[in-house]
Amino acid sequence: MKTPATMTENGTKDDHKFERYTPKNPLPDEIQKMERDETICKYCGVSYLIHNEIKALEEKLKVTEAELEKLRGCEERENKLKEDIEKLTEEKADIKRNLEAKEILITTLRNNLKSEEELVAENRKLQLKVETAMQLKEEYRAKHSLYQTNLPSIRTKLAEQRAELQNIHTFIQERDLKMKEEMKILLAGVNERSTQHESEKKELKDQLNELQKENSEMTLMLTALKDKSRSQEEEIKSLSHVNDTSTQLQTKVSHLESKLTDLQTQLEEAAEKHRQLTLENQQYKEQIRNKTKEMEDLTSNFRRKEQSSEASMKKLQSDLRQKEAELQSRMNELRDLEGRFQEQRRKEEEIHRKATLNVSESRELKQILQQAKAEIEQLKSEREVMITSHQNRIEQLRESFKQKLQDAESWPEKLQEALQKEKAKHAAALKSMEENLKDNFVMEMTIEKEKYQELLEKYQNVNRNHEALLKQQINSIDNRYKSEIKELQQILADSKLRAKETEDSLRKEVQNLKDIIRDLENRLARLDSGNDEVIVTLKQQLKDKNEELQNTKQEYVNKQKQMDTLKEELSFLQDTVRKECEERFELTEKLSAAREELLHFKRPTGKYYPSLRGWLTNSEVSQLFAKFYIINLLMHVCVGGYTSLNSSRGSTATSSSSQPKRSNSVPDSRVPELINGQTHSPQTNSDSPDSTSEGRRASLGPRPPKSPPKAPLREQTVTVSSNNSNISYKGEQAKPGGKMKGNSLEVTRKRIAAMLGRKT
């Protein structure tokens, strides 16, 4: 026969295994409606269902520990984000430095404009000199006419001079032919440059197409995000209050993702600008090289072309007017650049403000984690105290039970004699006991039905309140996602406007650069060999720009690597959150299924059979009380949220080692024993229990000692009072139910429930 000590040992072993176990069969309604005194052992005072409650608490602790282990990596991620923010601040400083360098370039351009104005003044002076030269020519013609009239002897010389003039005319014709050839060469160069500009326009159009493709990809991303938000909303409907922490993390992750997307767009725009600048710089380098060669070729021809005609002067005047218009356009471009610079400063201030907000949010998360850790440590300490108290109580019960067994084994013969005498006395008392037990059982069944209905109403009200809270949470989450989607749409519109502005600005810059190229060509046609110093300075500036471009390329590569790492971390966070949501969704589905089974489970009609003799066998009684036990376990599942059964059902009902031969009737005194979790074997011939009321025992006087049969068979006597409230073992009163070394079971349950509620 299994003892309570063995049952507790099995319970502690199963507790140390920490295996998850879900009930396969529901408890019967009778066990669910049993009172607390009936589910407690009358000898040890321990409930047969306390192990399930302890296991449920241990599983909850496991779940909380797993969640905390998942949250442990948040600090490291926050540190990584802080490092990324510091890197971004450093990049901002580098960008500021680049802007300062660009300002220096702007100042140099202004100085160049001043030098161009000086050149214009010099051209005006040259025009005055040409006019004076024309006046001198007219004077020479007048003098020549005077010489013709006054000196006839000079005619012969004039003939010679005419021959020389013809030679000069031939020379001029040859020079004109050479000039035409050079003009053809220049026109060919201009045509090549126009073709290059057309190719550049095509490249810009290709870039515009790429930008449009990126915009379409962004729209697809938005649709995907909307689908994800809808799926998340459907998952959130099934979550409980424990899922609030995960929702907060998801919202924070979404904010971080939006910020990262903004940074990515900014980086992509900067990268595109860098690429365009590199292409333009390469083109300028090639043009400057060609121009340097042309400068060397044209310096030799410049001296020959000093005595050009008046047509060239008119062309110069038209060119000067064009240059003045170009100078005005340059001034407008400088104003536009200043406006862009101010916009960039505003953007940097906004980024700094967002970084400060991220730091404050990370601090709040750290505080919440510290509070959760403190609560977990408290729960662990209380759990250890409970385990030690239970183990001490179990050891005391083992020792007391061993002593009682030794006392019982020393009285076998006396017990047999007492049994033979008591069988005759107890036969008359059986009928009255049966009637009393039937009446009490019917009353208890009616009371338990009422209790069960009240519990059902309570659970229904709790479920309604829970559903209302979930609806409120879902509405709030819907509003959040809608606001985020609106923000993303605004960001897309802003990005499109920025792209258009950048395209317009790039086109303007291309036109301006074309004008600059024309100006440089005109300058090269005019400047002497003394302007080599300007070319050297331009070359140095180009070298500096090339170095700056290489540095920016390296920075862009580093930023891309950082963005890849951030994307990997975000994907990891999304996977962890998705797994947690799926696990919690499965748990809520299991709870809903258990509740539906309880609601559909039907109770008996309340009628009671006139007598249990001849109707029920030992196997039927054990099945009936097993159903009671399963229903009670299901009730604990609904109350606690999680439950697990012991692997061995022997802790609820212990069978005796010796089976009787006669089984035509079952004594009614076995009912409270089975309710308490133990089935005692009936006696061999009379099949009557050894329980009588205290008044009958007092009237009959003292009983002789009882003697059970010799080993290995053991028989125990259990006396049950008529009201099913007091049980005695071998004449000794049982210990009061629920009184343990520490507080009562109700107090401990309430305390554990309060702690779990505070945590959730």
Neighbouring residues of 239: CB distance < 8 A, sequence distance ≥ 6: 246, 247, 470, 581, 584, 585, 588
Q: How far apart are CA 449 and CA 439, in angstroms?
A: 16
pLDDT at 642: 37
**Three-state DSSP class for residue 720:** strand
Token representation of residue 34:
């049993």
In a domain, 93, yes or no: no
pLDDT at 687: 40
Contact 644, 55 (CB under 8 A): yes
* Interval 307-346: pLDDT, tens: 665 666 677 777 777 777 777 777 787 778 777 778 877 8
Question: Could you list the residue range(s) of the whole structural domain that residue 47 is in?
Answer: 4-69+410-461+595-759
Decide if pLDDT at 219 tops 50: yes
Which sign does the torsion angle of CA 369, 372, 378, 383 carry?
negative
Decide if pLDDT at 482 tops 60: yes
In a domain, 609, yes or no: yes
- Site of tokens 């606001």: 483
pLDDT at 722: 39
- Burial class of 95 by CB neighbour count within 10 A (0 to 12, 13 to 18, 19+): middle
What value does the mean pLDDT take over residues 588-616? 57
What value does the mean pLDDT take over residues 8-27? 47
pLDDT at 557: 81
Decide if pLDDT at 610 tops 50: no
In a domain, 537, yes or no: no
- Burial class of 598 by CB neighbour count within 10 A (0 to 12, 13 to 18, 19+): buried
pLDDT above 90 covers a percentage of the chain that reads 0
More confident call, 401 vs 18: 401
What value does the mean pLDDT take over residues 368-386? 80
pLDDT at 41: 75
In single-letter form, the type of residue at position 438 comes to K
Neighbouring residues of 209: CB distance < 8 A, sequence distance ≥ 6: none
Token representation of residue 70:
């998942």
* Interval 230-245: pLDDT, tens: 776 676 666 655 556 6
Decide if pLDDT at 37 tops 50: yes
What value does the mean pLDDT take over residues 428-436? 75
Instruction: Tell me the three-class secondary structure of 115-158, residue by residue.
Output: HHHHHHHHHHHHHHHHHHHHHHHHHHHHHHHHHHHHCCCHHHHH
Token representation of residue 74:
């948040």
More confident call, 708 vs 436: 436
Decide if pLDDT at 129 tops 70: yes
Q: How does residue 531 score in pLDDT terms, banded at 50, 70 and 90? A: low
Contact 369, 74 (CB under 8 A): yes
In a domain, 335, yes or no: no
Q: How does residue 94 score in pLDDT terms, banded at 50, 70 and 90? A: confident
In a domain, 119, yes or no: no
Decide if pLDDT at 261 tops 80: no
pLDDT at 754: 63
What is the model's pTM?
Answer: 0.18
Instruction: Return the DSSP state at 47.
Output: B
Q: How far apart are CA 117 and CA 119, in angstroms?
A: 5
**Mean pLDDT score of the chain:** 68
What value does the mean pLDDT take over residues 87-104? 84
pLDDT at 727: 39
Decide if pLDDT at 225 tops 50: yes
In a domain, 189, yes or no: no
Number of domains in the chain: 1
Decide if pLDDT at 711 tops 50: no
pLDDT at 734: 42
pLDDT at 518: 77
pLDDT at 684: 36
pLDDT at 551: 79
Q: Residue 732: in which H helix or E strand, if any?
A: strand 732-733
Q: How far apart are CA 440 and CA 39, in angstroms?
A: 17
What value does the mean pLDDT take over residues 61-66? 86
Q: How does residue 27 score in pLDDT terms, banded at 50, 70 and 90? A: low
In a domain, 357, yes or no: no
Q: Which of 297-306, 431-440, 541-550, 697-706 shows the lowest per-residue confidence on average (mean pLDDT)?
A: 697-706
In single-letter form, the type of residue at position 229 comes to S
pLDDT at 749: 57
pLDDT at 724: 40
In a domain, 183, yes or no: no
Decide if pLDDT at 84 tops 80: yes
Residue 22's CB: how many other CB atoms inside 10 A?
11
More confident call, 99 vs 303: 99
CA-closest candidate to residue 428, choices 681, 700, 707:
700
Q: How does residue 246 score in pLDDT terms, banded at 50, 70 and 90? A: low
β-pair partners for 47: 40
Decide if pLDDT at 524 tops 70: no
Q: How long, in residues, is the chain?
A: 760
More confident call, 339 vs 410: 339
pLDDT at 240: 56
Contact 675, 437 (CB under 8 A): no
pLDDT at 660: 37
Q: How far apart are CA 450 and CA 603, in angstroms?
A: 12
Decide if pLDDT at 155 tops 60: yes
Q: How far apart are CA 690 and CA 683, in angstroms?
A: 9
* Interval 442-461: pLDDT, tens: 787 778 778 777 887 887 78
* Interval 484-513: pLDDT, tens: 777 877 887 787 788 778 778 777 877 777
pLDDT at 99: 81
- Burial class of 634 by CB neighbour count within 10 A (0 to 12, 13 to 18, 19+): buried
Q: How far apart are CA 3 and CA 93, in angstroms?
A: 79
